Structure 1
């Protein structure tokens, strides 16, 4: 009997905050290493990717439905442990039916090893641009050794130049000020970009689109901070918030840093923010996940300079082509 083709979005709808309760047990069981297996990350990027949620054969399926570029139309690996290969078949049939290039993106190495080793229908290819950088928490806190000379010097200069700084954990009282600073940070970045390109062109440059999306995700995190069970830290200088960061536990051993925003007019502030957040919030963790570099050379260089302990690899899964 021929398999019934899945029609246009049967049972799919936009991912929403209330889905956290449904998805959290899956993530707790997974103990994920990659940032994509985290409800907060999916939720804050929902609008940018138009992430939809549905269920195939008892597994949770998440679909990026943004058709602006082929890279934004894909399934995430299904959540669940039963009938996984059959669920993959359904996902690929769904995409083929909609004339979308069939692909699963952002699969963890564990998923590939667990589900794709003993089959010949699918092939997995590592995507270096989206693999996560994993650091030892001890290194990020103590900054020992020659590798971290630059980091230590920036932090020392910051403390010397701005002795009137203070830190505080995020809460409902200071979050509104963080939101205002987030908007101010965007205006500053757009002003810098305007010196290099036309930020008002139609369509807008990719750099502008992604910058605005990044700021919107930060705002979404702040507006839903308590409901997402997050931890954050702000740095005040002269009474005003000039930097903030937000993270959470990704698994029993690892903290995930979602966002860091700092005023670059204060030399050493960004380095201080990164170090003090790890020290004050994540000293009991073994690792810190600082996410991917997106193939941006300057970002890759900066992340590599911090000496990652290892990379959490991610893979794209596609149909195996005949020889």
Structure 2
């Protein structure tokens, strides 16, 4: 998800703010259908709920989630348990379309995964316009690639990693409540630099999102790890196993002034936590050229396509 500079009040669209107590409800939907997309995940929704003014409501048995993106209101694909009933989905979209009229915007669905297109294309009672959203494609990697860095294509990564391992005394440890403040402080330190206004906005909101995730680590389902150098947190990551095959990386932060540190936190976390995992989802690049270059440099085995859908 990409942060937005403009704000639209969507508080009248759906009834309920997302609370940590809603995790069980959300997971009943999210875990019963192979949504796969990083956006359809309770930890992500909870972390970023303030930025996107996310709200939810169960309509016709479907979990509907609204927010805003670049100042325009949107919904996530209404979430079903196990399978979609076309008549129920169609009626739910009609209800949501009528609510969107108060904003003078068409009903827009964001982050629809490619494997769900057919469920929506088969709806006959609405005219739907589909548009590929490349900036929000998820990058999917083979876990074995990231935990070994074998082969010529990873030569540069392995060089940086080896330099770090040879020249740095470090400690790799799980994140515990005692490290929360240090991880937040690292996130704050890394905001310094020459960034565009949109990137600054992202970093400000990322700090709040990281804080939300870390302060609720006992309730949320992710695993966290940190790298300590001279007793100080200089890198950390948060990842969550979303199904039997996939680890989703929510956050990865590292002091870029320490050569090989980014490679090390990624490599060590995948070695430790992805032993029985086939795939690693490192989320989207949000249209930022530097992020796209970094994510492509790890050679994803595929991109999980997502679509915008306008309901007319």
TM-score by length of 2: 0.90
Q: Which residue of 1 aligns with 2:121?
A: 116
Q: Tell me the number of residue pairs that the alignment of Structure 1 and Structure 2 aligns.
A: 296
Q: Which residue of 1 aligns with 2:173?
A: 168
Query: 1:79 and 1:222 mapped to 2: Cα distance?
Result: 26
TM-score by length of 1: 0.87
Moved more, 52-61 or 267-276: 52-61
Query: 2:215 and 2:66 mapped to 1: Cα distance?
Result: 24
Q: Which residue of 2 aligns with 1:159?
A: 165
The answer to whether 1:64 aligns with 2:67 is: yes
The answer to whether 1:74 aligns with 2:80 is: no
**2:90–2:123 CA contact under 8 A, matched in 1:** no
**2:143–2:278 CA contact under 8 A, matched in 1:** yes
Q: Which residue of 2 aligns with 1:149?
A: 155
The answer to whether 1:295 aligns with 2:297 is: no
What residue ranges of structure 2 are gaps of 5+ in the alignment? 1-10
Per-residue deviation, 1:65: 4.6
Query: 2:179 and 2:30 mapped to 1: Cα distance?
Result: 30
Query: 1:296 and 1:207 mapped to 2: Cα distance?
Result: 9
Query: 1:88 and 1:268 mapped to 2: Cα distance?
Result: 48
What residue ranges of structure 1 are gaps of 5+ in the alignment? 1-7, 198-204
Query: 1:318 and 1:289 mapped to 2: Cα distance?
Result: 27
Q: 1:284/1:181 Cα in 2 relative to 1: closer, same or farther (>3 Å)?
A: same
The answer to whether 1:319 aligns with 2:308 is: no
The alignment partner of 2:31 has SS state of helix
Q: Which residue of 2 aligns with 1:136?
A: 142
| 1:158-207 deviations in Å (ceiling 9; x for gaps) | 11110x21100111232232222222223xx2xx12xx77xxxxxxx322
Query: 2:210 and 2:134 mapped to 1: Cα distance?
Result: 25
| Greater Rg by CA | 1
The one of 13, 25, 28 aligned to 2:28: 25
**2:227–2:235 CA contact under 8 A, matched in 1:** yes
Query: 2:136 and 2:255 mapped to 1: Cα distance?
Result: 26
Cα RMSD (Å): 1.8
The alignment partner of 1:220 has SS state of helix
